[in-house]
Amino acid sequence: MRAWIGLPLVLLAQGPPYPLPPLPETRPELVELGTALFHARELSLDRSLACSSCHQPEYGFADTLALSIGVNGQRTLRNTPTILNRAFGASFSWDGRVPTLEEQVLRPITDAREMGLDHATMLERLRTESAWAGAFERAGAPVTTDGVASALSAFVRRQWIADAPVDRFRRGEVESLTNDERAGLWVYESSGGCWRCHAGPNFSDEAFHNTGIGVRDGVVEPGRAAVTGDPADRGAFKTPTLRGVALTAPYMHDGSLATLEDVIEHYRRGGVANERLDPRMRQVRLGPEDTRLLVAFLNALSRPAEPK
């Protein structure tokens, strides 16, 4: 399977409630370098892993594990998120601690639980291996941490999923969705209440919510509060996009929910009670048929429209 390269204008044209930022102009040569770096095992301590080891195209640029495996067999602390449409992110990481994509693409490289490579060694490898020196020269990028960040972020910014059947349906092509998918859209917009957080053209409000995931004996993880220091943010994690969601199981920041049906059941119950639970979380009246239809709709968000 290849990554789906959609038309970002399909997203940008949809506007509020979360207007998406414009994409910067990027030279093809820089994207080409970023593609090579994304698949390069030289960026991990023991040369065993690349960015693509955890962000696998066939799984929506995520993987199939609750917590991924880094160098020396270590487990990551968070579930691997998709990079699809992260060009439109307002902040990065599950708790939003990273403000820019350029900063985010470097973090897994140095993280001891992920790729475990310090910047100095990374640059030494890239400068001394002639193939990399030539690739950076062709891209017009310096062999520096900023150069690596520019190339990797250029690659990530071109991983789009857009113009799904849902988009065509909303443009008036009513036959783009099956009857079940249309009914699932109605559940999404009405009794399911999913739109309250999964809002806008990218189906994410880019905000942080405590949905009761990661609660143990009534105590919730710090989440966003670890960044802001605000107790009100305790247990809050970023709302992920729903585009491509059918490809990226398991779900949530800790990978604790295996299927879309499990996710819907979690929300149907109103999450797991804790003192900072988001007020939007409440029991939802959804039956088995509603769940089936909602999954059909989410699948329609995860595939490109059929060519005419």
Domain assignment of residue 17, given as a range? 8-156
Element (H, E) at 134: helix 130-139
Please say which residue of 105, 129, 156 terminates a domain.
Answer: 156
Could you tell me if residue 57 is inside a domain? Answer: yes
In a domain, 112, yes or no: yes
**CB proximity list for 228: less than 8 A, separation 6 or greater:** none
Name residue, tokens 């062999």: 143
Give a yes or no: residue 2 inside a domain.
no
56 with 174, same domain?
A: no
Q: Are residues 145 and 177 located together in one domain of the fold?
A: no
Q: Which one-letter amino acid corresponds to residue 53?
A: S
Mean pLDDT, consecutive 10-residue segments, the chain of 308 residues? Answer: 43 48 75 97 97 96 97 96 93 96 98 98 94 94 97 93 87 93 96 92 94 89 96 96 96 98 96 93 92 97 71
One domain for residues 95 and 19: yes
Last residue of a domain, one of 103, 124, 156: 156
> What is the structure's pLDDT at 18?
45
- The span from the CA of 238 to the CA of 98, in Å, is 12
CA distance 201 to 213: 25
Cα distance between residue 120 and residue 65, in whole Å: 30
Query: Among 156, 181, 198, where does a domain finish?
Result: 156
- Measured CA to CA, the distance from residue 53 to residue 64 in angstroms comes to 11
Q: Is 219 helix (H, G, I), strand (E, B) or coil?
A: strand
Give CA–CA dist 131/96, Å, rounded: 35
Rg (CA), the chain: 20
For 181, residues 6+ apart whose C-beta sits below 8 A from its C-beta are: 165, 166, 293, 296, 297, 299, 300
Cα separation, 129 vs 136, whole angstroms: 11
Domain check: are 34 and 147 in the same one? yes
Q: Which helix (H) or strand (E) holds 208?
A: strand 208-209
Domain check: are 108 and 213 in the same one? no
On the 0-12 / 13-18 / 19+ scale of CB atoms within 10 A, 18 is middle
pTM exceeding 0.95 = no
Whether 97 is covered by a domain: the verdict is yes
Evaluate whether residue 251 is within a structural domain: yes
Q: Is 123 exposed, middle or buried (0-12, 13-18, 19+ CB in 10 A)?
A: middle
Q: Tell me the CA distances in angstroms from 176 to 163, 164, 194, 230, one per residue in order.
A: 11, 9, 21, 45
Of 54, 183, 43, 16, the C-alpha closest to 110 is 43
Residues 141 and 171 in one domain: no
Identify the CATH number of the domain in which residue 147 sits: 1.10.760.10
Task: Answer yes or no: do 170 and 292 share one domain.
Answer: yes
Residue with tokens 């929300």, as numbered in its chain: 267
Please check whether residue 248 is in contact with residue 257, taking contact to mean a CB–CB distance below 8 angstroms. Answer: no
